[in-house]
Structure formats: structure tokens, C-alpha cells
Copies of this chain bind each other. A is one copy, B any other.
Amino acid sequence: MNVKLINYTANPIETAFVAARTCYSGDGPEKLWELSISDGENKIPEEKMHSLLDKVIASGHLSVLEHISFTFAIEGISRACSHQLVRHRIANFSQQSQRYVSIKRDAFVIPSTIKANREARKIFDELIDSAKSAYDKLVELGIPKEDARFVIPNAAKTNIVMTMNFRELYNVCQIRLCTRAQWEIRTLFWKIKGELAKVEELKGLADYLQPKCVILGYCPEHRSCGLYPTREEVVGDDS
């Protein structure tokens, strides 16, 4: 799996700050924007912007985060994973099509439980070989790619360009960074968080991306993985 942040809203903190300030200010957003990005002495200090963002996120007033978007190049996740990923509806996906693009021999994801088990690995490799071989024969017989791909297993790799705004990324990470999430999509979102953390001006935003227990202060699931106590243990059973 290869994840690369290829594009994002320039001046993201400034953009969210100007949006948040516009709600409570007599000043217009154009002036607020100039004060935010200027180099002059009237420039709004960065700490002030960060502090406002902290406050709106802590109290759950998240809509200003939607002004910030991120575009990721996601390569080599399995079709099992991509099927889960595209269930997130507040995002945009452009995905490699199996109707048009031929399947390559090496383009399959191997789960680590299978990698770690010699016998399982053998079964897996043989099936992948059979599937690839069946696919090639079907195409040779004149079966259209869009039908030949019916023999291709879930393990097949796919590529996706995904654009997601920061509010949705904050929400999705609560679910997908959780230890209960399926391993491949969990890995994907930890890599996504990692991509933000690599960029100096996005480090602060990366810190907001956390599994839901960290956000809530407890685990809302029936059983906790142990990282946090359950809701009942923390707030009692008042509901």
C-alpha cells in the first residue's frame, strides 16, 4: 500500500480561522483573510488561530473544518478495502476500473495472517495464480474484460484518488483508526494521518485525527480493546 498526499488547501489554518471568525465578526471575510495571511505587523498571530481551532473542535462545532480539503493518491489497496472505503459518502473517489484496465500478475494484497502461515500462503498463492491464469484465458477467448474480471479475487490491488474534507477526515478517523476496524483500512488511515504529520503546516491538524475513544474519553463499543474504559465505566449507565 502506498499513500501520498498530493494536494491540499493552501493556508489551511488561516482558511478555517477566517471562516470561524466571519460568524462572530463585524469585519468581512476579505479583510479577515488579508489579516490572516499578511506578513505585516497587523497579522493575526498563529497561536490565536490555533487556539480558536482548538476551541471549535473541542466543542464539536466542526463545520469550519469543511473549508480544508486533502487529495490523496492511494495505490495498491485490495478491492476488499476499496469497497469499504467508498462507503464513506462525504468524499470523492476516482478509482481504477477493472472494466478497462488489465490485471497484472503481481497486483494482489496478501493479508499478514496468510503471510505468516506457510500452508495458508501456499494455498493463497496457488489460487491467485489460478485466478490470473483463468482471467488471461477468458480474455483470450474473447470474453470482455468487464466479464473476465468476475474471476479476480478480492485481493486484487486497485488505485484511487480520494479527496476528503477535514471534517469528514476527522469523523472517519474516529472509526477507522480504532483497533476494531479491519486491518487494511486501519493501516490506510494511519498512513493518511502520517501523510499530514509529514508536512510542517499540517502537523497540528494531524494531531486532531484520533480513534473515537481518544475524542470521547471512553470506548463507546460494547467491549473495549483496553486502551480506554467503556462508557459505562466512565459515566455510569444513566441512559
Contacts and interface: CB of A to CB of B under 8 A. Distances in A.
Oligomer copy total: 4
A73 to B, nearest CB: 4
A66 B124 CA distance: 38
B134 A124 contact: yes
A22 B147 contact: no
Nearest to A55: B222
A60 B200 CA distance: 34
B124 A127 contact: no
A231 B235 CA distance: 10
Interface residues of A, number: 108
A23 B60 contact: no
17 contacts: A23-B96, A25-B101, A29-B160, A33-B73, A55-B222, A67-B94, A79-B83, A98-B154, A109-B150, A113-B143, A123-B138, A123-B141, A124-B134, A124-B138, A153-B154, A215-B239, A216-B235
